[in-house]
Amino acid sequence: MSSPAWRPLENLEIHLVGPVNSPGVTPVDRKVPKFSTTGLSLYEFPTDPSGNLTAEFVIPFDDGINGIGGNLANIPRPGIYKIYAIRPSATTVLDRADSTSFVLCPDTIFC
């Protein structure tokens, strides 16, 4: 992903939005963490020296919530999603870049 407004080595946020195709279900905008071998949730993704973003990230599953009582997990439903990268303090449309749509589906069901 890239935007002409992004500077080299600038920290960005990545968001997962969806599902965008499920009647009666309001799409959810989730900020996603980096892939980390330490178990820490890191939400800053630096651009490369050319100002482009290439990143590995984790699709959030349940935010560590076990779903007991009123504290229910926010598990992404199967469906069509989009990803966007944005400056944390965005002020113009050039501060954001959007992906094409893609299908999010667990291996246990046919999508």
Count of structural domains, the chain = 1
Local confidence band at 64 (pLDDT 50, 70, 90 cut-offs): low
Q: Are 100 and 34 in contact (CB under 8 A)?
A: no
Most confident of 38-42, 48-52, 107-111: 48-52
Q: What is the DSSP string of 52-105?
A: B----B----STT----TT----PPPSEEEEEEEE-TT--SGGGEEEPPPEEE-
Q: Across residues 23-51, what is the average pLDDT?
A: 80
Q: Decide if pLDDT at 88 tops 90.
A: no
Range of the domain at 53: 1-111
Q: Decide if pLDDT at 67 tops 90.
A: no
pLDDT cut 70: percent of the chain above it: 77
Q: What is the pLDDT of residue 80?
A: 95
Q: What is the pTM of this model?
A: 0.78
